[in-house]
A and B are shown apart, each in its own frame.
Chain A
Amino acid sequence: MSVDSACPAAGGPIPPGRLELADHTFHIGHLQVLDENGALIAKDAGGAPDLNPDQLIRLYRGMVLARAVDDRLLKLQRQGRIGTFAPATGQEAVSCAPVVAMRPEDWFVGSFRELGGRLLRGEPIDRSFLYYNGHEEGNTFDGGERTLPVAVIIACQMLHAVGIAYAMKLKGEDAAVVCFFGDGATSEGDFHEAMNFAAVWQAPVVFVCANNHWAISLPREKQTRSRTLAQKAIAYEMPGLQVDGNDALAVYQAVHEALARARAGGGPTFIEAVTYRLRMHTTADDPKRYRTEEEVKAWERRDPIPRLRKYLAARGVWNDEMQVNLDEEIRKEIEEAVKKFEEAEDFKPDAPFDHVFGIPHPRLEEQRADFLANLSREQGHE
């Protein structure tokens, strides 16, 4: 198996009168390790990535957990126990596989559709429930020191990732950054600024673009005329690679190599992970308005989870009994998380005043006092 991320030289100066668009000379590599049935693709000479059974099972478990938590969040949302959230069913490989390639000292800079990866990085399930219930306390947990919170503003986090990566370089830390975003993000100015800064600074950052074919109702083809998203990297003199984003091993391998490159001082990499959002954009969205059932059905057949399971079974590290046990284990884990979430401590009503500034200021403290006075009056009346 090889990662074909070469950027052949540009075609030289454009001759006068030759502005035809057809004159592309670039090539974008596409990496796939497993076929849709989980079998190793023969033409990839390198075979499977170098992952031991424990790592493979960790990855698989992370993806199964992500799917189960997604199901549960959807139920909690329908019951009004949490707010709007963005399901990630179908995209588990994109968020989980990079985490297996990462070291604890690397930074995870995500957007809002990578809960699977966050859980695999160590975020407790109940903390994520808390966050979706409106409690930012959910964003604090042991081990989360290098995992940034959800970023809602599309593409904004990409620049933060570049800054962190630069800081790692400046401080001489042997650490890199993995930054997640969607296909829609590639239209924002922040995307292009981040790509450019990263390349100019040769920052140790790996951009993982989850091309799930939709940005709410806007299909990928209307987001950009570019035939691939990966080719955008070429303009910034950065390796750009497409991977099968529903092939966890391909995602792993690409991120693994890009991280090694980043740590070795080779600079940034752009990985376009081609995947699909099987559910609604968020719980407030109705995808029937803009896409067909047939399209969704076609992508259900490329589900990343059974694909990896078949591979594990073929390698002899997974069987039906293990699956039954895992499902039961995860069911219990989620039940416990729901319980913990429901029994969560009574948060201070004025907690939102606590983290506005590092140094308290009387102007805000007056408002806190006013808020608390009103609260006790209203509770007294009712």
Chain B
Amino acid sequence: MSKLNMVQAINLALHEEMARDQNVVCLGQDIGVDGGVFRVTEGLLAKFGAERVLDTPLAESGILGSAIGMAIAGLRPVAEMQFSGFAYLMLGQLEGNAARYRARSQGRFTCPLVVRMPYGGGVRALEHHSESHEATFAHVPGVKVVMPSAPGNARALLAAAIRDPDPVVFMEPKRSYRAFREEVSDEPEVMEIGRAQVLREGSDLTVISWGAMMRPALQAVGEIEEQRGASLELIDLLTISPMDGETIAASVRKTGRCVIVQEAPFSLGPASEIIATINDKALLHLEAPVKRITGYDLTVPYFSREDMYLPSPGRVRRAIEETLDF
């Protein structure tokens, strides 16, 4: 066991997967010599060479489009978008092709590729470096969207994404990159994509979150349990699409109350889909309206203004209390 932060854990998974399968290649901007702007790919070039760790020209559509070809021809490309804000430039290739080759060719040509990208706020960056637009990718049929929240699940889910037979968008919460460490097994670990994880069991209310928002959610849950003796269940969604509706519904059927914490803008995000899922599968078990704490329908403001956008632990705490007291 070693204690790793998320950057180290993802880096470990990349090393392990590249060593396990020589068809795994990494490509992206500044991922080789520089080790990635967040150092996530540090050491890969030295270990696996420039043929498998490609510093590409500056073109997102080029990166994903060529990764599609590599995947069709039997490689397992792991493409990096330097920031999720620049991933829109490859959306045409993702939606138009990566997501469709399987169906279009009736399974003859497939795209087992991963697109990693740091997402989200909390590092006080400049424009285009702080968005949480997972809904954009999740709304593409045929693409899986995975959002780890901690070093351990980041490592195990990235391994799963690389081994997955279909395209996976892997969104890394940059604010959690170095925020904390976790014990990580010395043996390679693989988690199942498409499954949410019940992190804490409880009976009074379900809190659902994912990615970077798991930290404020966990903090609020801890504080309220301590202050009020309430029993809260906490679910880490981990995969946004395809969403694990059963775990959500089972929990809400049990607790009857639910609060969702989402960093993305308010409208049409995963929280909306979770509420719709509860409506479909657990409506009659509800004892209070489901509440969502989210960002606003705004471009994330920069630097000194960023905090006004991000869901604060205070907002999360109040939402849980109001839902408990309803």
Bound CA–CA A215/B86 (angstroms):
15
* Contact flags B297-315 to A (C-beta < 8 A → 1, else 0): 1110111111011001011
Known contacts A216-B37, A289-B33, A371-B308; A352/B301 CB under 8 A: yes
Bound CA–CA A184/B305 (angstroms):
30
Do A134 and B305 touch across chains, with their CB atoms under 8 A apart?
A: yes
B59 interface residue, CB < 8 Å from A?
yes
A28-74, CB < 8 A from B = none
Do B58 and A215 touch across chains, with their CB atoms under 8 A apart?
A: yes
Do A83 and B125 touch across chains, with their CB atoms under 8 A apart?
A: yes
Q: Which of A133, A367, A378 has the most CB of B within 10 A?
A: A367
Do B33 and A217 touch across chains, with their CB atoms under 8 A apart?
A: yes
Report which of B35, B57, B89, B309 forms a contact with A222, defined as CB distance below 8 A: B57
B164 interface residue, CB < 8 Å from A?
no
Chain A hits for B33, CB < 8 A: 217, 289-290
Do A217 and B58 touch across chains, with their CB atoms under 8 A apart?
A: no
Bound CA–CA A65/B35 (angstroms):
35
- CB closest residue in chain B, given A188: B59
B296 interface residue, CB < 8 Å from A?
yes
A356 interface residue, CB < 8 Å from B?
yes
Do B58 and A363 touch across chains, with their CB atoms under 8 A apart?
A: no
A374 interface residue, CB < 8 Å from B?
yes
* Contact flags B122-134 to A (C-beta < 8 A → 1, else 0): 0011111000000
Do B302 and A367 touch across chains, with their CB atoms under 8 A apart?
A: no
Report which of A224, A350, A367, A368 forms a contact with B57, defined as CB distance below 8 A: A224
- CB closest residue in chain A, given B294: A367
Do A374 and B315 touch across chains, with their CB atoms under 8 A apart?
A: yes
* Contact flags A346-367 to B (C-beta < 8 A → 1, else 0): 0001111100100000011001
- CB closest residue in chain A, given B55: A218
Do A352 and B309 touch across chains, with their CB atoms under 8 A apart?
A: yes
Do B302 and A185 touch across chains, with their CB atoms under 8 A apart?
A: no
- CB closest residue in chain B, given A223: B57
A10 interface residue, CB < 8 Å from B?
no
Expressed in whole angstroms, the minimum distance between the Cβ of B190 and any Cβ of chain A is: 32
B185 interface residue, CB < 8 Å from A?
no
* Contact flags B141-152 to A (C-beta < 8 A → 1, else 0): 000000000000
Bound CA–CA A185/B306 (angstroms):
28
Expressed in whole angstroms, the minimum distance between the Cβ of B122 and any Cβ of chain A is: 13
B318 interface residue, CB < 8 Å from A?
yes
Do B305 and A153 touch across chains, with their CB atoms under 8 A apart?
A: no
Chain A hits for B312, CB < 8 A: 374, 378
Report which of A188, A371, A378 forms a contact with B58, defined as CB distance below 8 A: A188
- CB closest residue in chain B, given A291: B33
Expressed in whole angstroms, the minimum distance between the Cβ of A252 and any Cβ of chain B is: 28
Q: Which of B29, B62, B124 has the most CB of A within 10 A?
A: B29
A189 interface residue, CB < 8 Å from B?
yes
Report which of B61, B296, B314 forms a contact with A381, defined as CB distance below 8 A: B314
A135 interface residue, CB < 8 Å from B?
yes
Expressed in whole angstroms, the minimum distance between the Cβ of A236 and any Cβ of chain B is: 18
Do B62 and A82 touch across chains, with their CB atoms under 8 A apart?
A: no
A284 interface residue, CB < 8 Å from B?
yes
Bound CA–CA A223/B57 (angstroms):
5
B30 interface residue, CB < 8 Å from A?
yes
B266 interface residue, CB < 8 Å from A?
yes
Do A187 and B303 touch across chains, with their CB atoms under 8 A apart?
A: no
Bound CA–CA A190/B59 (angstroms):
9
Report which of A84, A134, A188, A290 forms a contact with B301, defined as CB distance below 8 A: A134
A24 interface residue, CB < 8 Å from B?
no
Do A353 and B296 touch across chains, with their CB atoms under 8 A apart?
A: yes
Do A134 and B302 touch across chains, with their CB atoms under 8 A apart?
A: yes
Do A289 and B306 touch across chains, with their CB atoms under 8 A apart?
A: no
Chain A hits for B34, CB < 8 A: 216-217, 289-290
Expressed in whole angstroms, the minimum distance between the Cβ of A74 and any Cβ of chain B is: 15
- CB closest residue in chain A, given B309: A352
A152 interface residue, CB < 8 Å from B?
yes
Given A134-B304, A356-B298, 19 other A-B residues pairs in contact with their CB atoms under 8 A:
A83-B302, A83-B304, A132-B303, A134-B303, A134-B305, A184-B58, A188-B59, A188-B89, A216-B34, A216-B37, A218-B30, A290-B33, A350-B308, A367-B266, A367-B296, A377-B314, A377-B318, A378-B314, A381-B314
Q: List 26 A-B contacts (CB under 8 A).
A: A83-B304, A132-B303, A133-B303, A134-B301, A134-B305, A152-B128, A153-B85, A153-B86, A153-B89, A154-B58, A187-B58, A187-B62, A188-B60, A189-B62, A190-B89, A215-B29, A217-B32, A223-B57, A285-B37, A289-B34, A352-B308, A367-B266, A368-B296, A371-B308, A377-B318, A381-B314
Q: Which residues of B contact A (CB under 8 A)?
A: 29-30, 32-35, 37, 55, 57-62, 85-86, 89, 124-128, 266-267, 296-299, 301-306, 308-309, 312, 314-315, 318
Closest 4 CB pairs of A and B: A134-B303, A83-B303, A217-B34, A187-B57
